[in-house]
Amino acid sequence: MRVVSSAEIDRILTFPALVEALAEAFRGDMVTPVRHHHEIERPGSSGTLLLMPSWTGPAAGDGFVGVKVVSVFPDNGAKNLPSVMGSYLLMNGETGEPVAVLDGTRLTVWRTAAASALAARHLARADAARMVMVGSGALAPFLIRAHASQRPIREVSLWNHRPGKAEALAAELRAEGLPVTAVTDLEAAVREADLVSCATLSTAPVVKGAWLKEGAHLDLVGAFNLTMREADDEALRKALVYVDTQAALSEGGDVALSLREGTIEPGHVRGTLFDLCRHPPQRSDGAVTLFKSVGTALEDLAAAMLVWRLLPKTS
């Protein structure tokens, strides 16, 4: 059984290949049960264990079974450990034999960014050139690279509520050759943007619908629970709204919150990534579009399968 590190994942994957692998997965035959969520009682704060299984269906050319195991222990910071850790176990679909264990944290940021880029392939204007990245955490550089792989991004404005973090990340990405500039005026940047991507832990909207120009696409990746929010109600009301899976209608902030509060009706959500990949919509150049993701084990399996296929096989 191979152990695949984060460095190997970074070396092997490219966003064009991963976006296409996800597109094939959403069009294909995969089984994705509801994820398992378990609380682990410990002195002080409790831990959480998440199990996210998926497997290829009988129509798939080659069979795999996979499961991501994620642990969340909030007190780990005091021990100089990450509070969230994960591993991905990939198994042969015919025998159940384990073939690889992959760094689950790295796999997650790659597939999350690729899912947003896949949605943008169908929802953002083909000539989208100006991007705003809201947030400068672990996902930000991956989202920038992923969107740039699908649209002709020429300018990226990077904003963070701590300007120093935005400046530091922008400098790192410019060293890679990416056209990234840190900004402090988020409203001004969004008003000019063709594509706005948000990956924050904000509990209040940071992007307002009034700022979105005609033809803009809004990508909402953060706000993973119902106490968080990245876009206001107006943004959702004025946009053609799509989600990654039906889970986004009840999990995460933004879409689920607007549905719960009655700001938008269920019919306002046009569809999922399954719909986008199987029946791509026609969008007018002036339409405002919005994509909200909460993640799915199908994406993890598709990404792990691609890594496995691209790994140099030892003799």
Domain 2-107+298-310 CATH assignment equals 3.40.50.1460: no
| pLDDT tens track for 187-200 | 999 999 999 999 99
The helix/strand/coil state of 224 is coil
Q: Give the pTM.
A: 0.94
Q: What is the mean pLDDT of residues 59-68?
A: 84
| pLDDT tens track for 209-259 | 999 999 999 999 998 889 999 999 999 999 999 999 999 999 889 999 999
Dist CA 106 CA 173 (whole Å): 18
| pLDDT tens track for 86-98 | 999 999 999 999 9
Q: How confident is the model at residue 61 (pLDDT cuts 50, 70, 90)?
A: low
Please give the torsion angle defined by the CA atoms of residues 223, 226, 228 and 234, in that order, rounded to the nearest 10 degrees: 90
- pLDDT of res. 225: 87
Q: How confident is the model at residue 83 (pLDDT cuts 50, 70, 90)?
A: confident
Question: Which residue type is seen at 267?
Answer: G
Residue 315 has pLDDT above 70, yes or no: no
Residue 293 has pLDDT above 70, yes or no: yes
Question: Could you tell me if 53 and 31 are in contact, meaning their C-beta atoms sit under 8 angstroms apart?
Answer: no
Question: Which residue type is seen at 73?
Answer: F
Q: How confident is the model at residue 45 (pLDDT cuts 50, 70, 90)?
A: confident
What average pLDDT does the chain have? 94
Burial label, 7 (beta-carbon count in 10 A; 0-12, 13-18, 19+): exposed
**In the chain, ranges of CATH 3.40.50.720 domains:** 116-296
Dist CA 190 CA 155 (whole Å): 12
Tokens of 200: 């924050």
- pLDDT of res. 58: 82
Write out the H or E segment, with its range, that includes residue 39: strand 36-40
Percentage of the chain modeled with pLDDT above 70: 98
**In the chain, ranges of CATH 3.30.1780.10 domains:** 2-107+298-310
- pLDDT of res. 283: 87
Dist CA 285 CA 270 (whole Å): 17
Percentage of the chain modeled with pLDDT above 90: 84
How distant, in Å, are the alpha carbons of 133, 165, 185, 223 from that of 205? 15, 20, 15, 10
129-288-294 Cα angle (round to 5): 90
Question: Could you tell me if 284 and 118 are in contact, meaning their C-beta atoms sit under 8 angstroms apart?
Answer: no
158-161-165 Cα angle (round to 5): 60
User: Topology of 116-296 in CATH?
Assistant: Rossmann fold (3.40.50)
